[in-house]
A and B are shown apart, each in its own frame.
Chain A
Amino acid sequence: MTKKKFPAALKVTLAFVVTAALLVVFMLLAANIGGIKVSFVQMLRGLFVEYDEDVAIIVQLRFPRIFVAILGGMAMAVAGVITQAVMKSPLADPGIIGITAGSQFVAVLVTAFAPALGYLSPLFSFAGGMLAFVIVYALSWKGGLSPVRLILVGIAVDALFTGLSTAFNQMTGGSYSGAASIVESNISLKDWEDVLTLAIYVAVGAVGCLFCLKKCNLLGLSDRLACSLGVNVARTRLEVSVVAVFLASAATAVVGSIGFLGLIVPHIARLIVGNDHKKLIPYSALLGALFFLVADTVGRWIAYPYEIGVNIIMSIVGGPLFIILLLRSKKYA
Chain B
Amino acid sequence: MPDDTLFTLSGVTFGYEKTTQVLRGIDLTIPKGKITALIGPNGCGKTTVFALLTKIYKPRTGSILFEGKDLAQIGRREYARRVAAVHQYNTVPDDLTVRRLVSMGRTAYQSEVFSRASQEDRDAVDRALALTHTEAFAEREVKELSGGQMQRVWLALALAQTHETLLLDEITTYLDVHYQYEILDLIRSLNRECGTTVLMVLHDINQTMRYADNVVMMKEGAVLAAGETQSVITQELLQQTYGIRAEIADVQGKKICIFD
- Chain A residues with CB under 8 Å of chain B are 1, 4-5, 143, 210-211, 214-215, 217-218, 220-225, 227-232, 274-276
Contact = CB atoms under 8 A, between A and B. Distances in A.
A220 B100 CA distance: 13
A224 B80 contact: no
A5 B141 CA distance: 11
B113 A221 contact: no
Contact of A230 (B51, B77, B95): B77
B16 interface: yes
A1 B76 contact: no
Interface string B48-88: 00010011100000000000000000001111110111010
Give the interface SS of chain B, mostly helix, strand, loop or mixed: loop
Contacts of B112: 214-215
30 contacts: A1-B139, A1-B140, A4-B139, A210-B113, A214-B113, A214-B114, A218-B104, A218-B107, A220-B96, A221-B91, A221-B92, A222-B90, A223-B56, A224-B56, A224-B85, A225-B90, A228-B54, A228-B56, A228-B80, A228-B84, A228-B85, A229-B107, A230-B76, A230-B80, A230-B81, A231-B107, A274-B95, A275-B94, A275-B95, A275-B96
B161 A224 contact: no
B107 to A, nearest CB: 4
Interface in B96-142: 96, 100, 104-105, 107-108, 112-115, 139-140
Contacts of A210: 113
B243 interface: no
A241 to B, nearest CB: 16
Nearest to A212: B113
Nearest to A223: B56
B13 to A, nearest CB: 18
Contacts of B78: 230
Nearest to B94: A275
Interface centre among A1, A211, A223 (most CB of B within 10 A): A1
Given A221-B92, A225-B90, A228-B80, A5 B54 contact: no
B259 interface: no
A227 B55 contact: yes
Contacts of A221: 90-92, 104
Contacts of B79: 230
A62 to B, nearest CB: 39
A5 B139 contact: yes
